[in-house]
Amino acid sequence: MARDTGTDDDRVRVRPNPRGTRPRTKNRPDHADAVSALVLAVDRGRYQLLTDDGTKVVGMKARELGRGARTAVVVGDRVGVVGDVSGRKDSLARIVRVEERTAVLRRSAEDGDAPGVERVIVANADQLLIVTALADPEPRPRMVDRCLVAAYDAGMEPVLCLTKADLADPAGFLAQYAALEVPALVTSIAGDEIHGLDAVRERLAGRVSVLIGHSGVGKSTLVNALIPDAARATGVVNVVTGRGRHTSSSAVALELPGGGWAIDTPGVRSFGLSHVDADGLLRAFADLSAVAADCPRGCTHAAEAPDCALDEWVASGAAGPAGEARLASYRRLLAAKTEAADA
C-alpha cells in the first residue's frame, strides 16, 4: 500500500540534517524525504533500483516493510527509497514503501515446492508477451493457455509472439487463439535479419512488457535484437551481489531504446495457477462476464455446469456465429487452470 506523504509538493521535501539534530525516531511514518524509484531487478535481498532522476541505486528492504511473500518487493514495483541514493559503489539505500500496484503477475507454487504459496513475479506491467517457437521446439498450446490465464488474472494484456516462422506456418497455431482475440506477432530469421522485429518494437514501445518463454524459443535472440546492450544491462545487475553471472531466476527490467521496458523472466517457465478463480478469469472477458451475471449462484461456468447462462447465450444465437468457439476457448482456459503447470 502506498503511504501518504502528506503532500506531493516536492518543495516540502525534508532534507537529511547533517548535524543530526532532527529527532531520531525509530518510526518515521512519512518518509517525506523518500525518493521514488523503479525496481529493475532483485537478487538475494538486494534490489537494483532506478530513481526518477535516472540514478541506478542498490537498495535493501527496510525492516519496517516486513518479511515474507506477502510483503515482497518485485520487479516493476514503484518504491520510495531513503538513505544513500547516490548510487556510488558500495552504497546501500533503503526501500521504505511500495506504491500501490496496478497489474500483478502471480504464480502459485506447485506440489513439492511449498504448494499453494502464491508469489508475485512482476508488478505494474501492461502486457505479457508469450514467446513460443512455431517449431524446434514444438509449440506447447497448454502452456500458452496457462500463460494466457496468468495474464488475464494479472490484469495484463496477453500478446502471442511466435518465432521461427521460417520453420513452420503460423496459421494453424493462430487459429486456436482466434476466438480469444489475442494479438499476435510473428517473427522469423532470414540470414542475419529478424523479420517482424519492427512490429514487435512497435508493440513494446512506451509500454511495460513481460517476456516469457521456454528455453530455446528465441527469447534471448529477440531481447538482444531489441536491446543491443541487454547483456551489459543485465551485467550491471550482477554488481548487486558481486557475482560474475546473473544466475538468479528472477525477472530483470531492461529499458527499450525507443522508450518502455522489457522485463525478461529467465527462470520463469510455468505458472501454478491455483490462485486464479473462475470469476477472476471471467472478468477478462467483458462479453461473457455480462452474460454470466444470470448464472446460478456459484456457477463454475465449466462445460458440465448445470444451467450455465453461457450455454444459453450460445444456443440462443445471441453470441453470434463466433460465440460457440469463444465459449469453448474460455472453457479451455478455465480447464488449463487446473492442469499440471508444466503441461
Ligand X SMILES: Nc1nc2c(ncn2[C@@H]2O[C@H](COP(=O)(O)OP(=O)(O)OP(=O)(O)O)[C@@H](O)[C@H]2O)c(=O)[nH]1
Q: CB nearer to ligand X: give 51 or 209.
A: 209
216 binds ligand X (CB under 6 A): yes
Mention every residue, 6+ apart, whose C-beta is less than 8 A from residue 244.
238
The strand pairing partners of 253, in sequence order, are 263
Minimum distance, C-beta of residue 134 to Zn ion, in the bound complex (Å):
34
The strand pairing partners of 189, in sequence order, are 194
Q: Beta strand pairing status for 157-163 and 127-133?
A: parallel
Among 51, 127, 187, 270, binds ligand X (CB under 6 A): 187
308 binds Zn ion (CB under 5 A): yes
Minimum distance, C-beta of residue 200 to ligand X, in the bound complex (Å):
11
Among 97, 107, 301, 332, binds Zn ion (CB under 5 A): 301
Q: CB nearer to Zn ion: give 182 or 292.
A: 292
193 binds ligand X (CB under 6 A): no
221's contact among Zn ion, ligand X, none, with CB below 5 to 8 A by partner kind, is ligand X
Q: CB nearer to ligand X: give 22 or 195.
A: 195
Residue 165 marked in a binding site: yes
Minimum distance, C-beta of residue 261 to ligand X, in the bound complex (Å):
18
Q: Is the dihedral of CA 305, 310, 316, 319 positive or negative?
A: negative
166 binds ligand X (CB under 6 A): yes
Among 80, 139, 170, 218, binds ligand X (CB under 6 A): 218
What's at 146, amino acid-wise?
R
Residues in binding contact with ligand X, number by CB under 6 A? 15
Residue 280 marked in a binding site: no
Minimum distance, C-beta of residue 189 to ligand X, in the bound complex (Å):
4
Determine how many CB atoms are found less than 10 A away from the CB of residue 18.
6
Residue 221 marked in a binding site: yes
Minimum distance, C-beta of residue 73 to ligand X, in the bound complex (Å):
25
Residue 279 marked in a binding site: no
- Are 250 and 41 in contact, with CB atoms under 8 Å apart? yes
Positions in 237-296 near Zn ion (CB under 5 A): 295
314 binds Zn ion (CB under 5 A): no
Mention every residue, 6+ apart, whose C-beta is less than 8 A from residue 220.
none
Tell me how far CA of residue 74 lies from CA of 44, 48, 58, 62, 98, in angstroms: 12, 10, 14, 14, 10
Residues in the chain: 343
Residue 247 marked in a binding site: no
163 binds ligand X (CB under 6 A): yes
301's contact among ligand X, Zn ion, none, with CB below 5 to 8 A by partner kind, is Zn ion
d(CA 314, CA 329): 13
The strand pairing partners of 106, in sequence order, are 120
Residue 163 marked in a binding site: yes
299's contact among Zn ion, ligand X, none, with CB below 5 to 8 A by partner kind, is Zn ion
213 binds ligand X (CB under 6 A): yes
**Going along the chain, which residue ranges are E strands?**
35-43, 46-51, 56-61, 78-83, 93-98, 104-108, 118-123, 127-133, 157-163, 184-186, 188-190, 193-195, 208-212, 252-255, 261-264
b/e for 290-327, b at 16 or more Cβ within 10 A?
A: ebbeebeeebebeeebeebbbbebbeeeebeeebebbb
Applying CB under 6 A, which residues contact ligand X?
163-164, 166-167, 187-189, 213, 215-221
The binding site for GTP comprises: 163-166, 213-221
